[in-house]
């Protein structure tokens, strides 16, 4: 059984929603508009320069740009360089919804067999936190405004990506708690908000068995059978 990518998909859903809002409000260029990963190093380096210039123009216009981090390098995520938003995964805990573990047969992607899938008996609740790091009142207000406009106290965010074994609609998001971890002596304001996405599949359904589909049915003339 292949390893589940549910954690990555959940993280990207949160990160993607925040990133798009930051771009929409003009505090960050859209990295998708720059081909910084081009195989041609000349094009890639030129795109990186253009992206940095775009950030510099935002700083000149608004006073600051807002960076967002998920799981990149530990140095980038752990840095307190403001202003920034950091999405941190915390834990999966037992959820509330149970599943029928009876095999559920579905035709596979090749259309050759019916796979018998067995779901986990209990869903999981996904907990994560969002760190807002700033060094001015204006910055922390902007960061907070960006966050609450995307992550509701109790509401839905869009699922990032779509596969047969994932929810195809939205993800319920609930606010849990918050904390203040500011370093006043260093001029750093850091607010941490904790959220929950309840009742997700921490692992994919397990394929227990596969059954070949019926491709031909032969009819027997019962009138010719002698009893």
pLDDT digits 0-9 by tens, 50-72: 999 999 999 999 999 999 998 65
Check: CB of residue 131 under 8 Å from CB of residue 190.
yes
Tell which of 45, 65, 85 closes a domain.
Answer: 65
Give the global pTM.
Answer: 0.76
Same domain, 94 and 122: yes
pLDDT digits (tens, 9 = 90+) for 19-30: 999 999 999 999
Q: Kindly report the CATH number assigned to the domain that includes residue 70.
A: 3.30.2000.10
Helix (H, G, I), strand (E, B) or coil at 80: coil
Peptide bond into 26 cis (omega under 30): no
For the chain, what is the domain count? 2
Same domain, 73 and 184: yes
Helix (H, G, I), strand (E, B) or coil at 30: coil
Same domain, 197 and 89: yes
Q: At 183, is the pLDDT very low, low, confident or very high (cuts 50, 70, 90)?
A: confident
Same domain, 108 and 61: no
The CA distance from 32 to 116, in Å, is 40
Same domain, 11 and 56: no
Residues 6+ away with beta carbon under 8 Å from 225: none
In this structure, are strands 189-200 and 170-180 parallel, antiparallel, or unpaired? antiparallel
In this structure, are strands 206-211 and 189-200 parallel, antiparallel, or unpaired? unpaired
Helix, strand, coil percentages (3-state) for the chain, rounded to 5, are 30, 35, 35
Structure tokens, 78 = 């752990």
Same domain, 38 and 144: no
């Amino acid at each position: 059984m292949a390893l589940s990518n549910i954690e990555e998909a959940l993280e990207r859903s949160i990160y993607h929603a925040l990133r798009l809002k930051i771009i929409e409000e003009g505090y960050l260029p859209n990295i998708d508009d720059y081909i910084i990963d081009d195989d041609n190093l000349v094009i890639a380096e030129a795109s990186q320069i253009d992206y940095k210039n775009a950030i510099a123009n935002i700083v000149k216009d608004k006073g600051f740009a807002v960076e967002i981090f998920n799981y990149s390098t530990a140095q980038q995520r752990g840095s307190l360089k403001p202003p920034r938003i950091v999405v941190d995964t915390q834990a999966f805990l037992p959820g509330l919804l149970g599943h029928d573990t009876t095999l559920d047969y579905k035709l596979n992607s090749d259309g050759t067999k019916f796979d018998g899938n067995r779901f986990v008996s209990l869903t999981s609740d996904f907990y994560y936190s969002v760190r807002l790091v700033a060094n001015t009142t204006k910055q922390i207000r902007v960061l907070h405004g960006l966050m609450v406009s995307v992550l509701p106290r109790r509401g839905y965010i869009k699922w990032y990506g779509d596969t047969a074994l994932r929810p195809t609609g939205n993800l319920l998001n609930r606010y849990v708690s918050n904390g203040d971890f500011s370093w006043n002596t260093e001029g750093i304001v850091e607010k941490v908000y904790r959220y929950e996405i309840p009742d997700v599949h921490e692992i994919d359904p397990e394929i227990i068995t596969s059954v070949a589909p019926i491709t031909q049915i032969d009819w027997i003339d019962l009138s010719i059978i002698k009893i």
